Structures are given as structure tokens and as C-alpha cells.
């Protein structure tokens, strides 16, 4: 299998980013990250300060924040303000939603400028840009991935988790467009170990999961290792 439980956990971001995610949900993901050594937690912006307080002195867990979530249609000024505020709070990674409507309208220069301005204000903080692949054609996925790569983002991310599941076809389109030139994060549809391992072999190095899916996948790995 090739992955230890710790190695797997260090590729998983756990999130509480649904519209109804509560403080209790944030407390749950923080506790899970502390116990299982997940690499990062992502709450919604309004609960970011409380999430940071809950993390305390655990500098081994990345505090991540969302920008332009989930539609990507905020103005660039709004996204820049949001990114700046999240960095000031203490976020160490930002997951930004691309302007999906402009991407689908072939307004590529405006899409690129939107990403660049957020990347610039983030400084050394890594920015992952979400394509929301389930809403795009294959060509739009490929074009979007190239724009993300060419404008300073560290990762192209497949989805928010709000709009359906990433498939291997989506990933093949991204890989055809950008090859190994940018890292890939998948969110949406990773619900079992076999699929996670399959897309890891395709080059995915980060996975955005909800709490229940993350723990279920870890348990699958534990069970398989225990049965050897």
C-alpha cells in the first residue's frame, strides 16, 4: 500500500465549511486534527478566530481559510480584503474559489488578475485555487488549471465539496493541461481509501475531506494494515 497512517493524515485537510457548520463542528475538527495529526483544518471565516484559539500552541496543524467561497463570484477587491483579513488572523493557507462565471465566459485575463491579486496579498502564504470542476467542461478545466498555475498559486484544487464529486476524468484533464508543474488538491467525492489511493497515484498530494470521511478512511487503512 505504501502509506502509513501518519503519512496519510499528513495529506488530509479536514473542514467544517458547509453553510450550517457550527462552532461544535469546528471543535470536532480541531480535536480530530490534534488526535490524528491531520495536516490542516479549514473552518469558515466567521469562526476562524475561535478555531485559532482552539488550536492553541499546536503549530504542527495548519490553520486554513476560504476566500470567495463557495461561488467564486465575489469582486476581486472583496477577495483581496478577505484574504488580507484571514492572513492577519493567522491563516497559513488560503483556498480561493476561481471566478467560475468569468472562466466559463472566456474572460481569462480577468480571471488571471483576480488570482494574482489574492496571491500578491497572501505573500508567502500558499494559495490553492478551486476550479469547481463539476461545473466546467473538459476544456474549461484545462484552461482554468493553466491560469491557476501561471498566476502564482501553489495548488490547483478540484472543488469546494459543495457541487459534486471529483472524478478521474477531471484529474486527467488537469494533468493533461499542467503535468507536474503544479500541485493538486482534491475535494469532493473522496469517501473511501481505494479512491484516495487511486488518485494519489495520479499525482494528488492533498485531500480536502469532511470529518466523517477522513476518520472512515483512516480506519480503512488501520483495518487493512491490521489484517496483514
| Strand 127-130 with 93-97, pairing | parallel
Q: Give the DSSP letter of residue 47.
A: G
- 185 labelled catalytic: yes
Residues paired with residue 127 on neighbouring β-strands, in sequence order: 94
- 84 labelled catalytic: no
Residues paired with residue 209 on neighbouring β-strands, in sequence order: 14
Residues paired with residue 187 on neighbouring β-strands, in sequence order: 208
- Catalytic entry in 79, 128, 183, 185: 185
- Closest listed residue to residue 40, CA positions, set 22, 17, 20: 17
- Catalytic entry in 13, 25, 79, 95: 95
- Catalytic entry in 79, 102, 128, 157: 157
Cβ neighbour number for residue 225 with a 10 Å cutoff? 12
- 157 labelled catalytic: yes
- Which residues are annotated as catalytic? 95, 157, 185
Amino acid at each position: 500500500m505504501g502509506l502509513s497512517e501518519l503519512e496519510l493524515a499528513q495529506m488530509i485537510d479536514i473542514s467544517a465549511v458547509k453553510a450550517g457548520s457550527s462552532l461544535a463542528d469546528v471543535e470536532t475538527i480541531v480535536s480530530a486534527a490534534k488526535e490524528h495529526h491531520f495536516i490542516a483544518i479549514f473552518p469558515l471565516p466567521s469562526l476562524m478566530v475561535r478555531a485559532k484559539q482552539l488550536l492553541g500552541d499546536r503549530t504542527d496543524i495548519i490553520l486554513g481559510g476560504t476566500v470567495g467561497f463557495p461561488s467564486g463570484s465575489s469582486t476581486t477587491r472583496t477577495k483581496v480584503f478577505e484574504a488580507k483579513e484571514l492572513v492577519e488572523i493567522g491563516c497559513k493557507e488560503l483556498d480561493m474559489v476561481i471566478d467560475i462565471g468569468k472562466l466559463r465566459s472566456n474572460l481569462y485575463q480577468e480571471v488571471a488578475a483576480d488570482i494574482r491579486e489574492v496571491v500578491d496579498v497572501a505573500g508567502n502564504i500558499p494559495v490553492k485555487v478551486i476550479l469547481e470542476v463539476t461545473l466546467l467542461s473538459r476544456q474549461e478545466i484545462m484552461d482554468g488549471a493553466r491560469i491557476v498555475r501561471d498566476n502564482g498559486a501553489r495548488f490547483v484544487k478540484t472543488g469546494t465539496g459543495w457541487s459534486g464529486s471529483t472524478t478521474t476524468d477531471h484529474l486527467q484533464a488537469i494533468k493533461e493541461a499542467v503535468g507536474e508543474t503544479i500541485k493538486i488538491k482534491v475535494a469532493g467525492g473522496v469517501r473511501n481509501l481505494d479512491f484516495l489511493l487511486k488518485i494519489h497515484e495520479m499525482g494528488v498530494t492533498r485531500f480536502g475531506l469532511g470529518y466523517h470521511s477522513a476518520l472512515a478512511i483512516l480506519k480503512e487503512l488501520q483495518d487493512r494494515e491490521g489484517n496483514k
